[in-house]
Amino acid sequence: MERQRLPGRDRTLKSAWKRYLPVLNWMGRYRSADLPGDLLAGAIVAIMLVPQGMAYAMLAGLPPQVGLYASIAPTLLYGLLGTSRTLAVGPVALTSILVAASVGKLAPQGEQAYLLLAIALALLVGGIQLLMGLLRLGSVVNFISHPVLSGFTSAAAILIALSQVKSLAGIPMPRVEGFPTMLLETYRNLPYINWPSLAIGVAAIFILVYFKTGLEKHLAKLKIRPAWRVPIAKSGPLVVVVLGTALVWGLGLDQRAGVQVVGQIPSGLPRLTLPAFDAGDLGALGSAAATISVIAFLESISVAKALASRRREKVDANQELLALGFANLGAAFTGGYPVAGGFARSVVNFSVGARSGLASMITAGLISLTLIFMMPLFFFLPKAVLAAIILVAVVNLVDVAGLQRVWRYSKADAVSLLVAFAAVLVLGIEGGILAGAATALAVHLWRTSRPHVAMLGRVGDSEHYRNIQRHEVEICPRTLAVRIDESLYFANTQFLESWLLNIVAERPELERMVLVLSAVNFIDASALESLENLVSELETAGVALFLAEVKGPVMDRLNGTGLVKKIGQDHIFLSTHQAMQSLECV
């Protein structure tokens, strides 16, 4: 994480350029051998992104073309600025549902105001991410623990899936918020199912699942060239879009059977737009924008890091924030909505062989061509197919195995997972992640507030001192060696003080106590004061205190404090064995 220091001003300047414009790192060194990989990857991601972009826009309550708009400028900007060479930026499921949840409170879906608010949200998200990047807050996201993120994602996926049931089944039902209401409304509207829609949707799901799971093996059996297998397997969304559209067009199902279709989409590239919003909405939008900024960054950085490390490449969290910030600003100024790095598309980008940001540019170019020439082809695309694409994409996000694993490993961590999961369903997405993060924090404090403390004895004739409860050891009369397995800070000083004083109260014969600090990584001001009190209290009680194995950085800090004066330099030893020797215990 340390920045490398380079000699000379010139190199520093050059390095700063490369630092903030990572495109310079690969542009100059581009080899023609990289081109086929980039071309293929760019094309396949475009094929995935066109239907996904439209589907996620629908999930966000926006017209389908907005999802495509959000796939061009952001993709290009990320390609220039991002440190990952394979992250595919564009609309994703989590941010889409967050957009729907927050904007839905301020304007009804389908109106111009709704669209304008979504665009304004992209502006705010971009601004927040830029600011976080400039303030180098890339590490802030660490404060959301994995279990909380897992619980949050699972619950959000369930909300997303449930919100798609009405499109899949062709039920004409207004959008509602909150899990219980959604469940109830969906149930009450079951009599209005449009069966042809549902049939198309379910068929699309089967095809998509087959493409995802069984197809690659069958292609291998059919001796299809390996280079072709991934492209074919990943074209599932394209296939269901083509089949669904052809079916509805051929049989006239939109007119004859009431199957809802995407309808007319305006052709052409997005225009430059100037995002604007009412100052009165800033409060509601601001908190949503903060949540989306963090969630979008979290999703992007984890994907980028995972892929970069496989090729020993580096990802810089703060530069990623800047790149994502510009990508979102790009979305805002071209009529798009908030974007992030998507998991599935990035993995495809990587595994098909994208070598540089050029792949992203090819993707952006192909989507532009689609917008210019192919929009009329999507007229008869049934909405049930888009719903099926979303459903199959999010079902993997429900992480039951993760819960089982965490539950087996640590009940306390599992509690924070379950709190986040339940809170998302009960309180909604934003409240859920806050409740989860607070629980994770409380769990951490609780865990470190009652540290493991071991009384030590000597192992045979060695210089090793181990826990008397785990090992056969010898102890020294009237002297107690205690190892504290936790840094000392405000949440555990009282526990420790009570523990030690109780030991002293229980053993009237005790005269000397050796604190072994080999696992103490820092001592905060509260603990320092507490230790000073402890020395006085032990002294009054006739017990002398000694320290052993104080770590270098901890000792640096302790030097010159009243504690060291009180204990006395001659009571502080490098090793437990030295302490015991000087106390004539060995």
Q: Which of 34, 177, 185, 529 binds a copy of itself (CB under 8 A)?
A: 529
Listed in sequence order, the residues at least 6 apart from 131 whose beta carbon sits closer than 8 Å to its beta carbon are 325
| Residue 65 interacts with a copy of itself (CB under 8 A): yes or no | no
- Residues numbered 424-443 forming contacts with a copy of itself, rule: CB under 8 A: 440-441
* CA gap 535, 504 in Å, rounded: 12
- Helix ranges, 8-63 (H): 9-20, 23-27, 35-59
Q: Which of 494, 565, 568, 581 binds a copy of itself (CB under 8 A)?
A: 494
Task: Please give the DSSP secondary-structure letter assigned to residue 229.
Answer: H
For residues 352 and 415, which CB has a smaller minimum distance to a copy of itself in the complex?
A: 415
| Residue 26 interacts with a copy of itself (CB under 8 A): yes or no | no
| Residue 478 interacts with a copy of itself (CB under 8 A): yes or no | no
| Residue 561 interacts with a copy of itself (CB under 8 A): yes or no | yes
| Residue 530 interacts with a copy of itself (CB under 8 A): yes or no | yes
Residue 529 CB, nearest approach to a copy of itself (Å): 5
Specify the 3-state DSSP secondary structure of 524.
coil
- Residues numbered 311-350 forming contacts with a copy of itself, rule: CB under 8 A: 311-314, 317
Residue 416 CB, nearest approach to a copy of itself (Å): 9
* CA gap 516, 485 in Å, rounded: 9
Structure tokens at 253: 């199902």
Distance of CA 361 to the CA centre of its chain: 25
Stretch that binds a copy of itself, among 80-88, 367-375, 388-396, 522-530 (CB under 8 A): 522-530
| Residue 522 interacts with a copy of itself (CB under 8 A): yes or no | yes
| Residue 135 interacts with a copy of itself (CB under 8 A): yes or no | no
Structure tokens at 174: 């207004």
* CA gap 398, 150 in Å, rounded: 8
In 3D space, the residue among 160, 205, 151 whose CA is nearest the CA of residue 182 turns out to be 160
| Residue 486 interacts with a copy of itself (CB under 8 A): yes or no | yes
Stretch that binds a copy of itself, among 176-184, 198-206, 408-416, 424-432 (CB under 8 A): 408-416
Specify which residues 261 forms β-bridges with.
Answer: 382
Specify the 3-state DSSP secondary structure of 487.
coil
Contact track, a copy of itself, 208-247, x by CB under 8 A: ----------------------------------------
* CA gap 577, 514 in Å, rounded: 11
Residue 192 CB, nearest approach to a copy of itself (Å): 43
Give the interface size with a copy of itself as a residue count (CB under 8 A).
79
- Helix ranges, 252-278 (H): 253-256
CB atoms within 10 A of CB 477: 9
Residue 561 CB, nearest approach to a copy of itself (Å): 6
Residue 332 CB, nearest approach to a copy of itself (Å): 28
Q: Are residues 560 and 554 in contact, defined by beta-carbon separation less than 8 angstroms?
A: no
Residue 310 CB, nearest approach to a copy of itself (Å): 4
Stretch that binds a copy of itself, among 222-230, 233-241, 382-390, 556-564 (CB under 8 A): 556-564
Specify which residues 544 forms β-bridges with.
Answer: 512
